[in-house]
Amino acid sequence: MTKKISLLNGILFFFLLLTLSASFIFAEIEEKKTKTFDVKNGGKLVMAVEGGSINIIAKSGSKMIVEVIKIAKTSSKEKAKKLFDTYKLEFNKKGNDVHIDGEFVRKIKRLFRNNNKFYLKFIITLPSKYDLDLRTSGGSISVSDLEGDIKAKTSGGSLKFNSVIGNVNAKTSGGSIRIGKVKGEVKVHTSGGGIYVEEVMGTIIAGTSGGSIKAYISKQPAADCSLKTSGGSISVSLAGELKLNLYARTSGGGISTDFPIIVKGKLSKNKLKTVINGGGPELTLKTSGGSIRIKKID
């Protein structure tokens, strides 16, 4: 019995050594570089990068500071340097506009074998009044405290926008979307997550194939709005004075509302068509996989 216990302890100790050795062999190594541009309010940042998360922070001032963080998980600084060199960046400035392009060098992709990994982050501080056109194929995008129009697209991450004065047009194929306070038009779509809107002061069009939608509309929309999902519930909070034509439909749950309803004909559990405060632009709510809740906020 004692020999069996000793053998078991030896095996456990051996695997512990392997685990510890692996943790020492592969480590995260960082390389940070910073670019600074003299720009003023009213410019535009255009980014088209292969991979990498993008974090935009707007502040008062006349500088754009681009911090690029490359992270390699590998066994040596030499290998990390080779991984870092697989990614090429180009910066171009014209007037107040800045273009950033980034891509991998295809011919040395073999360096990513054998558990070698590469991560990329962009942290960008820019003037508070600035337009954005952001595209990344493999990371999240976040923007805060900005006055300007935003276009954003990612194939592999979440989207987050907070305290924005301007229109937001954003799309992701692999993450959730979170909107703080936006004064402008919001158009967002995701194929793989939920959509959560703290407050939109105007028109909203939001769609998801894989999650629920929660939104708060505080100002009268100037055009039709829609919230659509194939895989979750919808909860929308409306300021009490909004004038809307409401159309709600669900295939997988019920519909409830705090507003008085006017219905002609038969009342349906899964479909509702009515007017709010005499009617106005259409608000369409559709889900195939959950309930619909319409709340009144005074």
Strand order through the sheet with 43-49: 87-94, 97-104, 43-49, 130-136, 150-154, 168-172, 186-190, 204-208, 225-229, 282-287, 244-250, 271-276
Instruction: Tell me the per-residue pLDDT of 67-106, one tens digit each, with 9 for 90 and over.
Output: 999 988 887 888 888 888 888 999 999 999 999 999 888 6
Predicted confidence at residue 100, as pLDDT, reads 97
Long-range contacts of 163-168 (CB under 8 A, 24+ apart): 166/131
**Ramachandran angles phi, psi of 15, nearest 5°:** -70, -30
Pairing of strands 53-59, 97-104: unpaired
Residue 113 pLDDT exceeds 60: no
Predicted confidence at residue 224, as pLDDT, reads 97
Instruction: Tell me the per-residue pLDDT of 189-198, one tens digit each, with 9 for 90 and over.
Output: 998 899 999 9
Collapsed DSSP state (helix, strand, coil) of residue 11: helix
Token representation of residue 7: 């053998």
Strand order through the sheet with 292-297: 27-38, 63-74, 117-127, 53-59, 141-147, 159-165, 177-183, 195-200, 213-217, 234-239, 292-297, 255-257
Predicted confidence at residue 17, as pLDDT, reads 47
Collapsed DSSP state (helix, strand, coil) of residue 7: helix
Integer Cα distance of 124 and 34 in angstroms = 10
Residue range 276-287: mean pLDDT, rounded? 96
Integer Cα distance of 125 and 117 in angstroms = 27
| Distance between first and last Cα of the chain | 75
Report the alpha-carbon angle 105-109-110, nearest 5. 150
Instruction: Tell me the per-residue pLDDT of 174-233, one tens digit each, with 9 for 90 and over.
Output: 889 999 999 999 999 998 899 999 999 989 999 998 899 999 999 999 999 999 999 899
Pairing of strands 244-250, 234-239: unpaired
Integer Cα distance of 14 and 205 in angstroms = 57
What are the boundaries of each domain within the chain?
25-135, 158-298
Polymer length in residues for the chain: 298
Calculate what percentage of the chain has a pLDDT beyond 90.
Answer: 65
Predicted confidence at residue 203, as pLDDT, reads 95
**Mean pLDDT, the chain, integer:** 88
Q: Read off the amino acid at residue 206.
A: A
Residue 146 pLDDT exceeds 80: yes
Residue range 167-172: mean pLDDT, rounded? 96
